[in-house]
Structure 1
Amino acid sequence: MNTSNKIPLTVVVPVKNEEKNLPKCLELLEDFDEVIIIDSNSTDRTPQIVAEFGYQLVNFNWNGQFPKKRNWLLRNVPLRNEWVLFLDADEFVTDDFKNEVRERIQDVSYNGYWLAYNNHFMGKSMKHGIKFKKLPLFRVGTGEYEFIDEKAWSHLDMEVHEHPIIDGQVGEIKSPVTHLDFKNLAHYIGKHNDYSSWEANRYLKLKQDKAAWAKLNWKQKIKYSLLDTWGFGFLYFLTNYFLYAGFLDGKIGYIFSVYKMQYFFNIKAKIYELTQNKL
């Protein structure tokens, strides 16, 4: 049991070759009772950086099967706190966020919390556009990331678009986490190329599995209903850039909106390619 003034929560940071982002992420975590970094055989200075901060480093070798990195840690690494927060290396907590988390995890009526993110793109803060949210903060033992059967088509060893399935009530933390990737635009494009391949394959799997479709939340059902349409990317651009005032972020808002449009177009094109290959 945590008897210090630290926040009684375990922060888990999944990484692979994150020497650019990791120092800033880790230097903001000293107020938490436990910090664990789970690595996938990094070849840069990631392990040395973890050692410099004195945090626990766990290595993960994926065998291509379920579970992936986050679920594997939940099942195999003892955590000394009741709550766990999964934080990416390019996500940075603020004092307001830490203060709110300290208070909210004392509420016994909630088993998880959605987090809001202050997104940056190409080094610039984006104050407008569709806001990004996810559910990486929950009470240990109340759930894990959803199971997706992706044998033979995915090389991503960490849950990326999988959502945690939590038993019990889920709330929302208002104070945002800063999302700021110090890597370049080429890295962003390459990463989202991998993500679009994953999404295309998952869409086709969902079409064949009614039980898996039934488990999706309403936002996921809308998303996957639209992914197989050629106009979804353009619809996202119009929504993000005009309806959510992404144009107020200037050139960065425009570039981001175009890249997101391209991302959804790539998913649709890959769905089409995979479908044609099966004919």
Structure 2
Amino acid sequence: MALDLTIAIPVRNEEKNLPGCLSAIGTDLARHVVVIDSGSTDRTKEIATNWGASVIDFVWDGKFPKKRNWFLRNHTPTTKWVLFLDADEYLTADFKIELRRALERDDVVGFWLSYTIYFLGKRLKGGYPLRKLALFKVGAGEYERIDEEKWSKLDMEVHEHPVLIGSVGVIQSKIDHQDFRGVSHYVIKHDDYASWEAARFVKSAANARVADQWTWKQRLKYRLMRTPLIGPAYFCGSFFLMGGFRDGARGLSFALLKTAYFTQVYCKIREKEISEES
């Protein structure tokens, strides 16, 4: 029996990842599966339609709201729950079993979800765990509002988190996170992420209203962003404290890529600050 759930999958040119994502969902898990497309030029929309998902076109104007909040506001799900799933995230059998039990609860309005991370073809054993608040009751809240003006090409909420009214639970079983688009795509994508992170930091770090909504992890990250130590701090935490060394060369490579990313964010922050001072 299908759950009172809408699964929303924001996409752009995801023909490599989407077939596996949809297959893992199956046809009897959720009442609705919606693919929100941002002008894909590959077979993404065809794949979604052939599978039986609903397809909604999204065109971003460079400002708030981005894709997830736009969907919640303009195509509000008619189900009790909504799960935002990226095309490179694959529901596991264990997760779907726990999901059915979790959605019977009435004492929470959302759930933190955990994800495995695959890198260079294999699952990572160590490193920082990936967790997102991606499952919640429709109407319980939306992703945090960030008023930007085309800081990057990112038309979807990336590091924003939902701000919900009510208690939040945890689903322990993990979703598999596997991106089959390769390391080059990873590096290019994270350059956009770094530009967005830097612009957000410069604009919102002094905004008490925005800062009050940050999680403790966000507070720690933004504190470290003020110094070039954020890169080395991430590396030490991920590779040594969180066991990234257990993955050998793959774990080292992944930690170094993330270290470079956070160092890039710091440099872009300083670049913006220097530009504004001159």
Which interval holds the TM-score relative to the shorter structure?
over 0.9
Aligned counterparts, 1:1-279, within 5 A: 5-29=1-25, 30=27, 31-279=29-277
Q: 1:78 to 1:268 in 2, by over 3 A?
A: closer
Give the whole-Å Cα distance in 1 for the aligned partners of 2:64 and 2:244: 38
SS at match of 1:35: strand
Q: Is the 8 A contact 1:34 1:80 kept in 2?
A: no
Displaced runs of 4 or more, over 3 A: none
Q: How many residues align?
A: 275
Q: Is the 8 A contact 2:63 2:150 kept in 1?
A: no
How far is 1:66 from its partner? 1.1
Give the whole-Å Cα distance in 2 for the aligned partners of 1:85 and 1:223: 26
* C-alpha distance after superposition, 1:43-67 (max 9, x if no partner): 0000110111011000001111211
User: What is the identity, as a one-letter code, of the residue corresponding to 2:197?
Assistant: E
Superposition TM-score, scaled by structure 1 size: 0.96
Q: Is the 8 A contact 1:123 1:181 kept in 2?
A: no
**Aligned-pair RMSD on alpha carbons?**
1.0
How far is 1:90 from its partner? 0.1
SS at match of 1:278: helix
Give the whole-Å Cα distance in 2 for the aligned partners of 1:152 and 1:132: 27
How far is 1:163 from its partner? 0.4
How far is 1:215 from its partner? 2.1
How far is 1:152 from its partner? 4.2
Segment of structure 1 superposing worse, 143-152 or 9-18 = 143-152
Give the whole-Å Cα distance in 2 for the aligned partners of 1:9 and 1:257: 36
* C-alpha distance after superposition, 1:159-186 (max 9, x if no partner): 0111000100001000000000001100
Q: 1:177 to 1:152 in 2, by over 3 A?
A: closer
Give the whole-Å Cα distance in 1 for the aligned partners of 2:160 and 2:200: 10
Give the whole-Å Cα distance in 2 for the aligned partners of 1:25 and 1:166: 26
Q: Is the 8 A contact 2:127 2:244 kept in 1?
A: yes
How far is 1:78 from its partner? 3.9
User: What is the percent sequence identity of the aligned residues?
Assistant: 47
Q: Which runs of 5+ in 1 are unaligned?
A: none
Q: Which runs of 5+ in 2 are unaligned?
A: none
Give the whole-Å Cα distance in 1 for the aligned partners of 2:130 and 2:76: 30
Q: Is the 8 A contact 1:126 1:249 kept in 2?
A: yes
Q: Is the 8 A contact 1:116 1:133 kept in 2?
A: yes
How far is 1:207 from its partner? 2.7
